[in-house]
Amino acid sequence: MSEAATAEQEREQLNTGTKAVAETHRFDEAALEAWMKANVEGYAGPLEVRQFKGGQSNPTYQLITPGKKYVMRRKPPGKLLPSAHAVDREYKVITALGTTGFPVAKTYGLCLDEGVIGTWFYVMDMVEGRIFWDQSLPACEPAERKAIFLSKIKTLADLHNTDYAKIGLEDYGRPGNYMARQVDRWTKQYKASETQLIPEMERLIEWLPKTVPEQERTSIVHGDYRLDNMIFHPTEPRVVAVLDWELGTLGEPLADFTYLLMNWVNGSISTIPDLKAHGIPTQEEAVEYYCSLTGRSGLHDLYWFYSYNAFRLAGILQGIVGRVRDGTANSPHAAQQADRVVGLAEASWKFAQKAGAS
C-alpha cells in the first residue's frame, strides 16, 4: 500500500463514526432537550447524544431520538478569537442554500443563548449516505467513479452559479479583493506558528501578494471543497449534502475550483497512471466540464492558483505544528505535519516559477 493510501486509511479510521462525548465537550443534555422541544418542529424524545470523531474545530454531535437523528454543531467551550468558530455563519449559509435546492442538510434552529449549553449552537438534519475518504475510490467501478467526480464538479458549479444576493447572502462576506486577503491571512497564520525557516515560504510571502490575479467574479465559496466534505446518496453517484462550511464566504470562485484541481496535480489521484481506464476525468476534462457549467471559455492564472493553494495548505499545517509547539494540539499526528509543510512550500514555489516567479 502506498504512503498516500495508508494516510487516507488512517484519516478515515480517525474520522468515521461516533464516540461517547469527550469529557471536555460535555454539556447539559437536559437543557438541550428542553430547547429542542421548544424550537425543533416535530421533536420527540428521549434524547441520546454521541460525538462525531474527527478533528472538526467546531465540536459536532449526533442527536438520536426514537424516530429521527439530528446533528448539532457548536462553538467549542473556552476562550476563542472573536471571529473564530462562527456557527451562526454556517447556519446562515446552509439555511439560505437550502431554499434553492442546493444539497445541504435541512436546518432546524440556531441558539445564540450561551445559557443553554454554554456556547452557541445549531441543529440540522442527519443526512444518511456515503462519505468517500480515498480520492481514488477503490471500492467503485469506473463508471461510478466518473459519475461521482462529475457530480462533485457540477455541485461546485451550482454553488458558484447561485445568486447570493437573491437568497439574502449579500452580507455573507466582502465581495472584492478576496485572493489578496487570503494570501495575507495565511501569511499571518504561518508567521504566528513558524517553527523553522523555510526559504521557499519566504520567497512566496514576497511574491504572491505582488502577483494576485484580478478578481473577475464573486460567488459563494466553500473554502474547503473536497470529496470527504460531502455526503453521497447511499446507492446513487450524486451529492446529497455538502458539509463543513466553516471557511465559507463570498469570494473568488476559482479559489474553490483550483483547490479541487489540486487532486490532479499534487494529490492522490495524480499518481494514477491511466485515469480514463480508472474512470476519473482527466484534469483537462474536469476544467472543460466546469467551464461549460459556469459559462467560461477557459481558466486563467492556473499556476498562480496552484501555488496559492499549496501555500495556503502549508499555512494551515504550520498552524497545527505551532499548536504542538505550544502544547495545545489534540491530534496524535500533529508533529508529523512539519515535514509536509516543507514539501508543500517546495511544491508551491515550483508552481510559482511556472507562473513566472524567479
Q: What is the mean pLDDT of the chain?
A: 90
Last residue of a domain, one of 93, 125, 157: 125
| Residue listed under C-alpha cell 437543557 | 31
pLDDT tens-digit series, residues 329-338: 555 566 678 8
Whether residue 114 sits in one domain with residue 148: no
Instruction: Count structural domains, the chain.
Output: 2
Residue 347 included in any domain: yes
Say whether pLDDT at 346 is over 70. yes
Whether residue 343 sits in one domain with residue 203: yes
Whether residue 154 sits in one domain with residue 294: yes
Whether residue 221 sits in one domain with residue 85: no
List the CATH number of the domain containing 244: 3.90.1200.10
Residue 254 included in any domain: yes
Asked if 125 and 70 count as a contact pair (C-beta separation under 8 A), the reply is: yes
Which is it for strands 121-125 and 107-111: parallel, antiparallel or unpaired? antiparallel
**What's the domain range around 33?**
17-125
pLDDT tens-digit series, residues 63-94: 999 999 999 999 877 654 445 558 999 999 99
Whether residue 172 sits in one domain with residue 121: no
Residue 9 included in any domain: no
Residue 21 included in any domain: yes
Whether residue 164 sits in one domain with residue 104: no
267 pLDDT tier (thresholds 50, 70, 90): confident
pLDDT of residue 326: 72
Whether residue 319 sits in one domain with residue 177: yes
Last residue of a domain, one of 76, 96, 125: 125
Residue 238 CA to residue 257 CA, distance in Å, equals 18
Side chain identity at residue 100, one-letter code: T
Residue 25 included in any domain: yes
Whether residue 189 sits in one domain with residue 272: yes
Residue 286 CA to residue 342 CA, distance in Å, equals 29
Whether residue 288 sits in one domain with residue 154: yes
Last residue of a domain, one of 62, 96, 125: 125
Whether residue 229 sits in one domain with residue 182: yes
For residue 46, cis peptide bond before it (omega within 30 degrees of 0): yes
Residue 152 neighbours by CB distance under 10 Å: 23
pLDDT tens-digit series, residues 29-48: 999 999 999 999 999 989 99
Whether residue 273 sits in one domain with residue 230: yes
